[in-house]
Amino acid sequence: MSFPEVKHVPILAQEIVQSLVEPFSQSSLDSPSCWLVDCTFGGGGHTASFLKAFEATPALRRHRILALDQDPEAVQRGKLRFQEEIRAGKLEILQENFGNAGHLLAQRPVLGLLADLGFSSDQLEDRSRGLSFQWEGPLDMRLNPTQGRSCLELLQQSSELELEKILRELGEERFARRIAASMVESRRRGQLPQTTKDLVDLVVRATPPYARHGKIHVATRTFQALRIAVNEEMEMLDRLLQDVVTRVLPCGRAAIISFHSLEDRKVKNQFKNKDFFHALTKKPIEANEDELRVNPRARSAKLRIAERLPV
């Protein structure tokens, strides 16, 4: 099987290695072998930098990486790209939703954990997923296309109030009511959008002319809201923070990169809980100018790191 080359560029990779891996570089050579968990493997960019850091430091060579991704294609591609490391026992890649990862982690000694939320550039540019308003594609939006409802099914099955709530709460879309009403009206006429382009046209028609040409594309917030709803991203983040990071991570560090304020607020609030965490970042770490020049996608990334206090 062949896959297109990975395009995704890892964000804040150096800062993440420094905070998750380097604290262990002085540990004694006979301390037990542990796992570093990459909850969002994607194109394997962060995993590759962990492997490199482990290889470069004798005290770290006995540790291993457990990488998870809900996307079967990302996992298949990763298994090809990292076949040597997998064979050598340095890396395991599993198709798993991080919201369900508690049981996997409970059975292993864990050094630390990374979650780089959202979707990868490769997923965004894969037109068959319908994640981008820039290209025509089916209205799917699932990061794991084998599970759950597609965006089209969500539009078919949700009430007007539910759609309005999704657009307002998950997209902070000020014209949520008008767009939701237009979706339901198009459904009544048997003309629901079937493709990303149809959805963009619907959003443009439902938005007053004076608001169609702002700083961001007029459909940005609708696409964000529907993608978050389709993939249950808020629910999975809650489960990651509560069931995995708080209940299962025995000690060690958790690093989470989020891309919008709803996610960042959840991470910040959880890391504030002094019964469980010592927050290492009072303010989130953001990409510097040099990184932004090569990776504009890093613009909205916010990295928060906390140390899980021993129970």
Give the pairing of strands 110-116 and 252-258. parallel
Contact 230, 249 (CB under 8 A): no
- Contact flag: residue 264 with ligand SAM (CB under 6 A): no
Among 66, 155, 192, 236, binds ligand SAM (CB under 6 A): 236
Among 116, 164, 173, 263, binds ligand SAM (CB under 6 A): 116
Nearest approach, Cβ of residue 233 and ligand SAM (Å): 7
Considering the complex, state which of residue 60 and residue 143 has its C-beta at the smaller distance from ligand SAM: 143
Report CA-CA distances (Å) from 185 to 149, 156, 202, 271: 21, 11, 11, 43
- Contact flag: residue 254 with ligand SAM (CB under 6 A): no
Contact 230, 148 (CB under 8 A): yes
Q: Residues 122-161: x/- map of binding to ligand SAM (CB under 6 A)?
A: ---------------------x------------------
Considering the complex, state which of residue 95 and residue 222 has its C-beta at the smaller distance from ligand SAM: 95
Residues in the chain: 311
Considering the complex, state which of residue 154 and residue 192 has its C-beta at the smaller distance from ligand SAM: 154
- Minimal CA–CA distance to 285: which of 250, 252, 258? 258
Nearest approach, Cβ of residue 102 and ligand SAM (Å): 12
Region near ligand SAM per CB under 6 A, out of 42-50, 147-155, 260-268, 298-306: 42-50
Considering the complex, state which of residue 104 and residue 192 has its C-beta at the smaller distance from ligand SAM: 104
Among 40, 182, 207, 270, binds ligand SAM (CB under 6 A): 40
Q: How many CB atoms lie within 10 A of CB 231?
A: 22
Q: Which residues within the stretch 86-105 sit at the binding site for ligand SAM (CB under 6 A)?
A: 97-99
Nearest approach, Cβ of residue 187 and ligand SAM (Å): 28
Number of residues that bind ligand SAM (CB under 6 A): 22
Contact 196, 136 (CB under 8 A): yes
- Contact flag: residue 68 with ligand SAM (CB under 6 A): yes
Residues in contact with ligand SAM by CB under 6 A are 8, 10, 40, 42-46, 68-71, 74, 97-99, 116, 118-120, 143, 236
